Structure 1
């Protein structure tokens, strides 16, 4: 069975503005990649994304960019260990030795922009399935953060993961 997911949301803003909020490293660093993003999302490039709540930067391979329509990325697959209920805290896991593919599509919808994010390519294992669940949560939150930033200039991730 192929493991993957799709999440979607609508942002009140023109497609070009919403697309730029994802493609531009300075803007995405303000609401999502809280440790910073280095490099613009352009076909054939490799960029770096870092998050304050997750140690280390991720290399992200940009496979394809069609301005205002689609962004296709590949990055290290994440596989999570079972949650230790008695220990609390987040699941432990590690980047695996393969990559998953993330496809973001942008289209005009009701005077705003509908964004769909799909990620696929995990192995068919329990650890990979748990990793996909975590990434699904992360991309869902990214859509919420993008909406709050574009529509209101608010960074929802600020302080979200402090213990």
Structure 2
């Protein structure tokens, strides 16, 4: 019997903001550019495709197959081998748990490295989002300048 194992990258955080604010912080490019991306061609909406640019990279990244469930989940494809699923859970104290799962790559040495890097990347995304949504702090600003191609 051959196992067809798929890798996953996971991260989660609790944000002390209502679920509606957190959801808007993810789908609205004006907010996302404060903590994650430098540019977006538009708002994340079901069935739409947008292009993201990051401040430290020259490349632009198409975000496809977007599926939105208002105040509940956001999913998209930006790597043809994986799907990103962001889920939101409202807590009784009006805070929100945000979980990110990116999955689909086959288990091999290169993809194992990918899973470890992306888990850290999504944890960084969540920490930056928390800092911005709760305190207006832009943690990502200047954080990855060393990664720019010279």
Task: Return the TM-score normalized by structure 2.
Answer: 0.89
Residue among 62, 75, 92 paired with 1:59:
62
* Contact 1:47–1:62 (Cα < 8 Å) also in 2: no
> RMSD over aligned Cα, in angstroms?
1.2
1:31 aligns with 2:35: yes
Residue among 111, 119, 138 paired with 1:128:
111
Counterpart CA distance in 1 for 2:66 and 2:136 is 29
For structure 1, the residue ranges without an aligned partner over 5 or more in a row are 77-97
Please identify which structure carries the higher strand content: 1
Task: Return the TM-score normalized by structure 1.
Answer: 0.82
Residues 73 and 44 of structure 1: CA distance in aligned 2, closer, same or farther (over 3 Å) = same
Deviation at 1:36? 1.1
Deviation at 1:107? 1.2
**Alignment length, in residue pairs?**
141
Counterpart CA distance in 1 for 2:111 and 2:134 is 34
Structure 1 runs (4+) greater than 2 angstroms displaced: none
1:103 aligns with 2:85: yes
* Contact 1:63–1:74 (Cα < 8 Å) also in 2: yes
